[in-house]
Amino acid sequence: MQRMRRSPILRRLGPMAFEASAIIIAAIFIIPVYYLFVTTFKTPAEALLQPLSLPETWTWDNYVKAFDTMNYMRALTNNAIISAGAVAGIVLFSAMAAYTLARRNRRYSRLLYVLFLAGMMVPYQMGILTLFKLVSDIGLMNRLAGVILIEIAYGLPFSIFLFKGFISSTVPIELEEAAKIDGCSVSRTFLTITLPLLTPVVATVAILNMLATWNDFITPLLFLQSRDKGVLLLEVFRNIGQFSVDWTSLFPMLFLSIAPLLVFYLLMQKYVIAGMTSGSLKG
């Protein structure tokens, strides 16, 4: 009887302990973000003496300085061109490739799919030397188009994996068979029937690759040498001192670099959840 009287209390304490643990963990993880944000409004002396306190006087001078130092609008434009071009290419090519692989159950199709999956397992750094020579030979060095093509190539394997799983489990093949009876070609069937049904996974692929492309540092560093082709992370890197770092100047640059991506993700995150769950069940 004593055990039965305790069980309701224990059942209430369990969720409460879990919620308290989650709040504590969230607070721990939010501390670096809070530190970065408040430091952007401080003077160097205040940031050194009172790192976690709120600034005594909120000033936008650090942001104005960072905006001018990193040529923000030019770098933001380069970032936007590279990200938009890469995401558009990845979505288009991976959707077409995945559609073919999902609808043709033949030996060579399965082999090609395995080769695409193998591309997910090869580290990017293993092919840098060969890739550098290839890009140089075809005349795409120090051009945004070269970086876009590289981003497309490295984003295709995982995107094909997502598209193929979604098409196989969610898109009914009967719709395509009916279109074929009505005289639709394969390309028209894909564009008018299949592609509109891929909206959730298209959004997921677009968002995930936008995050990866926007935050890519090593590719622009290697293949964009001139300052006028620089992206946001390159501008942040170029303004770091060799022997010392002014954190009140660096943190505003970091915040300006991630702010557009943060807004984009907050607006689009519901599509990520929809895309991940839509293809999780068969039928």
24/110 same-domain check: no
CB 75 within 8 A of CB 276: no
Q: What is the pLDDT of residue 18?
A: 77
- Per residue in 103-152, pLDDT tens? 887 788 888 888 888 888 888 778 888 888 899 899 889 999 999 999 99
With respect to residue 239, please indicate whether it lies within any of the assigned structural domains.
yes
10/127 same-domain check: no
- Per residue in 185-233, pLDDT tens? 888 888 888 888 888 888 889 988 998 999 999 999 999 988 888 899 9
What domain count does the chain have?
2
Give the CATH number, domain containing residue 107.
1.10.3720.10
Residues 6+ apart with CB under 8 A from 124: 154, 218
With respect to residue 45, please indicate whether it lies within any of the assigned structural domains.
no
Q: What is the pLDDT of residue 192?
A: 84
30/102 same-domain check: no
119/256 same-domain check: yes
113/234 same-domain check: yes
With respect to residue 202, please indicate whether it lies within any of the assigned structural domains.
yes
Q: How far apart are CA 36 and CA 23, in angstroms?
A: 20
13/106 same-domain check: no
Q: How far apart are CA 162 and CA 109, in angstroms?
A: 16
With respect to residue 54, please indicate whether it lies within any of the assigned structural domains.
no
Question: Concatenated DSSP letters for the chain?
Answer: -HHHHHHHHHHHHHHHHHHHHHHHHHHHHHHHHHHHHHHTTS-HHHHHH-SSSPPSS---HHHHHHHHHTTHHHHHHHHHHHHHHHHHHHHHHHHHHHHHHHH--SHHHHHHHHHHHHHTTS-GGGGHHHHHHHHHHTT-TT-HHHHHHHHHHHHHHHHHHHHHHHHHHHS-HHHHHHHHHTT--HHHHIIIIIHHHTHHHHHHHHHHHHHHHHT--HHHHHH--SGGG--HHHHHHHTS-SS---HHHHHHHHHHHHHHHHHHHHHHHHHHHHHHHHTSS--
CB 147 within 8 A of CB 224: yes
Residue for token digits 């003496």? Answer: 49
With respect to residue 53, please indicate whether it lies within any of the assigned structural domains.
no
Q: Domain range holding 27?
A: 2-39
155/233 same-domain check: yes
Residues 6+ apart with CB under 8 A from 142: 223, 224, 225, 226, 229
Which amino acid belongs to residue 28?
A: I
190/88 same-domain check: yes
21/141 same-domain check: no
With respect to residue 59, please indicate whether it lies within any of the assigned structural domains.
no
- Per residue in 71-93, pLDDT tens? 899 999 999 999 999 999 999 99
71/196 same-domain check: yes
34/69 same-domain check: no
Q: What is the pLDDT of residue 1?
A: 42
Asked which of 37-41, 48-52, 176-180, 273-277 is least confident by mean pLDDT, the reply is: 273-277
127/227 same-domain check: yes
With respect to residue 153, please indicate whether it lies within any of the assigned structural domains.
yes
With respect to residue 48, please indicate whether it lies within any of the assigned structural domains.
no
Expressed in angstroms, the distance from the first to the final Cα of the chain is: 48
Kindly report the pTM of this predicted structure: 0.81
CA angle 148, 149, 150 (to 5 degrees): 90
How many CA atoms, within 13 angstroms, populate the side-chain half-sphere of residue 247? 14
Name the residue among 201, 168, 12, 267 with its Cα closest to residue 176. 168
